[in-house]
Structure 1
Amino acid sequence: MTSVNIATMPDPDQRLFFLLQRAAHQVRTIADRRLLDAAGITTAQLGALYAVQDEPGITQQRLARALGLRESAVTGLVARLTAAGLVVRQAHPSEHRAVVVRLAEAGHAALRSAQPEVERFNAELRALLGADGFTGTAAALHHLAHWQR
């Protein structure tokens, strides 16, 4: 991993959007490769599996909100997860048009397989950013992810 000298960068205040996009792409590309090797899933699938694990029986509509995606995108994502045997879809017990999603055993296994790689990845980010930088970045990204105007 290489470190970046902020002093040699063009004015970062003027390029924050670009830097966020570039960083997200770089992190996602690296993480996808590692997660595919470790657990056979992508970062998008990992996020969905975490959300389903955190809220068993989550509706697809609620999953879309949790992931910040359109419902049509989540429909495709859930279809791929179902085809891979990672989740099961069931009719909602009281809403006739709603579908709930639960982890299948293979979904639990994928999360267990992914966990060591997630921990390694976070350790590398902590080393790159420093402990305070990691914590501060995580807090800032959390705020940005939940920013509403």
Structure 2
Amino acid sequence: MVTKTKNPRLYSRLQIAAQQLRKVTDRQLVEAAGITAPQLGVLTRVAAAKELNQTSLARDLRLNDSAITAMVKRLIGLGMLEKRRSETDSRAWVLKLTADGQSAIDRAGEQMLSINQKIDAEFGPGGLDNFVDELNRLIAICDAEQAGEGEG
């Protein structure tokens, strides 16, 4: 039995909100730091890791390998990332943040704080935290569904 929802346009609304937020955020981040939101995600993930290869990065950010390859290539070209041999496995290559990459993160961080403050003000006290919690629940549901697809 299919349960009817009060708002069957949820997927559409989430998609539109995500696209609009990304456009606004990307425009502001490019002006402030010369990078887009997905590029900032790559840089911050690499900065947080001791050693990280492209495959792990793609998995962590839930992007496909070809998207990560293109993004990493662009960030290397911008001098924000570099590839080095792994310290634990001389056959493997890992990504490392450069000083320019750290500088971009720092400049972007100031801009992201401004964007988050505007959204937080719109949602009200605790509203944004609750919304993020609900989105995390939705992500978990989708993760569980995807994990179930591999079985059977």
TM-score (norm 1): 0.86
Q: Which of 4, 29, 36 is the aligned partner of 1:42? A: 36
Partner-residue secondary structure (3-state), 1:13: coil
Partner of 1:64: 58
Q: Unmatched 5+ residue regions in structure 1?
A: 1-10
- 1:1-149 equivalences under 5 Å are 13-93=7-87, 94=89, 96=91, 98-146=92-140, 147-148=142-143, 149=145
State the one-letter code of the partner of 2:10. L
CA RMSD between the two structures: 1.6
**Cα distance between partner residues in 1 of 2:75 and 2:139:** 24
Return the offset for 1:56: 3.2
**Cα distance between partner residues in 1 of 2:138 and 2:93:** 30
Return the offset for 1:134: 0.4
**Cα distance per residue 1:58-108 (max 9 Å; x no partner):** 111110011101112111111101000001111334162x32101000000
Return the offset for 1:140: 1.8
Partner of 1:8: none
Q: Unmatched 5+ residue regions in structure 2?
A: 146-152
State the one-letter code of the partner of 1:64. A
**Cα distance between partner residues in 2 of 1:99 and 1:143:** 34
Gap change, CA 1:89 and 1:144, over 3 Å in 2: farther
Return the offset for 1:143: 2.9
